[in-house]
Amino acid sequence: MSHIERIPKEGVIEGSPADRPFRVGVCAYSNAEARIVAEELFEPRANVVLGDAADARPLVPGWSGQNLLLISDGTLLHLMPGMRLHMCNEGGTDRVVGTFEELVAQGMSFPLRVGVTMLNVRVREGLSVFVRYLPSSGT
């Protein structure tokens, strides 16, 4: 089930995510465990390319298949069929939740410009990516 909420933005970090550094964590999970397998701090407007080849950032141990562009120019989200998105601001405002297919059916098109501070993307079964845009200081 998907949904999109527009709730007043209280306590939101000011400024565009495009102008802020962001932290990316890759989580591999199963019924038995979940563990962070890659984590990296990115400069504003960087690309996030998941994989295990030389041009991947972050490098994902055990990756199978071609590298995957997930975020370009720091804020363009490249969601693809089979992926699931949950994004919002601090405090849960401006929440968007759904699979690629559900969101497209609601009229969203990809790549999507990110205007919130946190994302969780289930890339495929057993692999999720967490993104958090930081204040300009990078803390």
Residue 22: inside a domain, yes or no?
yes
Alpha-carbon torsion, ordered 6, 122, 75, 89, to 10 deg? 30
Of residues 7 and 32, which shows the higher confidence score? 32
Domain count across the chain = 1
Instruction: Express each pLDDT in 66-110 by its tens digit.
Output: 999 999 999 999 999 999 999 999 888 899 999 999 999 999 999
pTM: 0.85
C-alpha to C-alpha distance for 16 and 26, rounded to whole angstroms: 23
Residue 104: inside a domain, yes or no?
yes
Residue 138: inside a domain, yes or no?
no
Instruction: Express each pLDDT in 8-20 by its tens digit.
Output: 444 344 567 778 9
What is the structure's pLDDT at 135? 85
Residue 139: inside a domain, yes or no?
no
Encoded amino acid at 6, one letter: R
Alpha-carbon torsion, ordered 40, 80, 54, 23, to 10 deg? -10
C-alpha to C-alpha distance for 131 and 116, rounded to whole angstroms: 10
Reply yes or no on whether the pLDDT at 138 is more than 60. no
Containing structural domain, residue 61: 3-8+15-133
Tokens of residue 50, six digits: 């998941």
What is the structure's pLDDT at 8? 40
β-sheet bridge partners, residue 113: 76
Residue 27: inside a domain, yes or no?
yes
Q: What percent of the chain has pLDDT over 70?
A: 86
Residue 92: inside a domain, yes or no?
yes
C-alpha to C-alpha distance for 8 and 95, rounded to whole angstroms: 11
